[in-house]
């Protein structure tokens, strides 16, 4: 019996993925570029154990049920199919941040699960193959296998690293809003946008152009160019979902107040830029020198519960032990 323990860090897209080209294979319709976060991580242990009557899935000390459990079992079943193992699995996972609220817990969660489950099954899966396995569960999870800046191209099964953190040291200041779990999952939100938003075709057309601009800015380590592109990517993505029927709005009053505060900072000469995902929290990209000043200002914005300052994070990692040995 092998116990595998994996750590994967969350990532936030600078050029967003929103919309699927293939629902069954979970392939994105647009390319995305992300930055892995040092401060937000998931730790997951997996053991396949013949003495268990059924799979056990535990997150932050509680049994996981319903759709979240089914998503974990789908990944485990793919690993069982590949490895020939038929035993139930014991999965224990812990996030050091709020789950399912737009802080990309599915990204770090499925990356850690894919890594731990393949190793616990004794598979010698490459990191690219592990990224593809994670992608089937959550496309953003494909990017969390790698540290630094990471891309997921259209038509690609797996994510790939673009540049290490040292190439362009940035910080992300995360304004965590005083609000719980999100009410519409990103999968449901993407489907609603594709089916009912007249702006979805415009999103599909512009997202790859913004991705190209953001990629160039990362390669040239140009914060102003990257910031302009990443705000535009987030705003265009949200515009496409706000135009869905029924309208999909993840913003809270506090989210808008943070966006305004970021613009004020820029007027004061600080290079800081915001992005948002499928939740109310606002993530601000800035330089390491300005991160503390940004955090101090954002802490005072009404509706902000907590501010997390993160550096760029490392590759996912895994270690394996054999309890029988
Ligand atoms: O991979 P999912 O299903 O959690 O979707 C992620 C969608 C966004 O976070 C909004 C954008 C992105 O590229 O991460």
Residue-wise pLDDT tens digits, 221-250: 999 999 999 999 999 999 999 999 999 999
Ligand 1 centre to CA of 6 (Å) is 21
pLDDT for 101 equals 56
pLDDT value at 178 more than 90: no
Which of 9, 12, 16 for a ligand 1 pocket mutation test, highest count of atoms within 8 Å of Cβ? 16
pLDDT value at 147 more than 80: yes
Ligand 1 centre to CA of 14 (Å) is 11
**Confidence class for position 305, pLDDT limits 50, 70, 90:** very high
As beta bridge partners, residue 92 has 45, 58
Mean pLDDT of the chain: 95
Maximum Cα interatomic distance, the chain, rounded to a whole number of Å: 63
Q: Report the nearest-CA residue for atom 6 of ligand 1.
A: 140
pLDDT for 323 equals 60
Q: Are the CB atoms for 114 and 75 separated by under 8 Å?
A: yes
Q: Is 55 exposed, middle or buried (0-12, 13-18, 19+ CB in 10 A)?
A: middle
Ligand 1 centre to CA of 129 (Å) is 20
Q: According to the 3-state scheme, what is the secondary structure of 31-68? A: CEEEEEEEEEEEEEEEEECCCCCCCEEEECCEECCHHH
Ligand 1 centre to CA of 308 (Å) is 20
Which of 68, 133, 159, 186 for a ligand 1 pocket mutation test, highest count of atoms within 8 Å of Cβ? 186
Nearest Cα to Cα of residue 87 among 3, 25, 21, 173: 3
Q: Which residue has the tokens 């595998």?
A: 4
Strands (E), the chain: 3-15, 20-22, 27-28, 32-48, 56-59, 62-63, 89-95, 149-152, 160-163, 171-177, 272-276, 282-286, 304-310, 317-321
Ligand 1 centre to CA of 275 (Å) is 12
pLDDT for 103 equals 73
**Confidence class for position 139, pLDDT limits 50, 70, 90:** very high
The C-alpha atoms of residue 305 and residue 307 are separated, in whole angstroms, by 7
The C-alpha atoms of residue 42 and residue 97 are separated, in whole angstroms, by 9
Ligand 1 centre to CA of 122 (Å) is 30
Q: Which residue has the tokens 């990191």?
A: 127
Ligand 1 centre to CA of 302 (Å) is 26
Query: Which atom of ligand 1 lies closest to the CA of 15?
Result: 13
Q: Are the CB atoms for 57 and 69 separated by under 8 Å?
A: yes
Ligand 1: residues with CB < 6 A are: 13, 16-18, 32, 106, 138-140, 186-187, 277-278
pLDDT for 189 equals 96
pLDDT value at 183 more than 80: no
**Confidence class for position 322, pLDDT limits 50, 70, 90:** confident
Query: Which atom of ligand 1 lies closest to the CA of 237?
Result: 10
Q: Report the nearest-CA residue for atom 8 of ligand 1.
A: 277
pLDDT for 1 equals 85
What's the pLDDT tens digit per position in 22-62?
A: 999 999 999 999 999 999 999 999 999 999 999 999 999 99
Q: Are the CB atoms for 181 and 61 separated by under 8 Å?
A: no
pLDDT value at 324 more than 90: no
Mean pLDDT to the nearest integer, 309-322:
96
Tokens standing for residue 7 = 């750590």
């Amino acid at each position: 019996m092998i116990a595998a323990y994996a750590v994967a860090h969350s990532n936030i897209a600078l050029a967003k993925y929103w919309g699927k080209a293939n629902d069954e294979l979970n392939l994105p319709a647009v390319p995305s570029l992300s930055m892995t976060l040092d401060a937000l991580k998931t730790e997951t242990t997996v053991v396949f154990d013949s003495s268990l009557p059924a799979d056990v899935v535990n997150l932050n000390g509680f049994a996981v049920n319903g759709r979240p459990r089914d998503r974990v079992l789908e990944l485990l079943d793919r690993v069982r199919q590949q490895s020939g193992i038929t035993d139930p699995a014991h999965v224990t996972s812990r996030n050091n941040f709020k789950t399912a609220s737009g802080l990309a817990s599915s990204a770090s969660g499925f990356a850690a699960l894919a890594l731990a489950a393949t190793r616990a099954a004794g598979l010698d899966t490459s990191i690219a193959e592990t990224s593809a396995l994670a992608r089937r569960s959550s496309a953003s999870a494909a990017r969390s296998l790698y540290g630094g800046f990471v891309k997921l191209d259209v038509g690609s099964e797996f994510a790939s690293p673009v540049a290490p953190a040292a190439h362009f040291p940035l910080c992300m200041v995360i304004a965590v809003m005083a609000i719980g779990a999100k009410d519409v999952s990103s999968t449901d939100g993407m489907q609603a946008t594709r089916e009912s938003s007249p702006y979805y075709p415009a999103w599909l057309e512009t997202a790859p152009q913004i991705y190209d601009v953001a990629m160039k800015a990362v390669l040239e380590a140009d914060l102003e160019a990257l910031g302009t592109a990443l705000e535009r990517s987030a705003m265009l993505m949200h515009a496409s979902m706000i135009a869905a029927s029924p309208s999909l709005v993840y913003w809270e009053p506090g989210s808008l107040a943070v966006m305004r505060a970021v613009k004020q900072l820029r007027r004061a000469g600080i290079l800081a830029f915001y992005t948002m995902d499928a939740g109310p929290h606002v993530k601000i990209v800035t330089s390491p020198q300005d991160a503390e000043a940004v955090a101090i200002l954002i802490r005072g914005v009404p509706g902000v519960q907590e501010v997390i300052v993160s550096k760029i994070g490392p590759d996912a990692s895994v270690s394996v032990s054999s309890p029988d040995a």
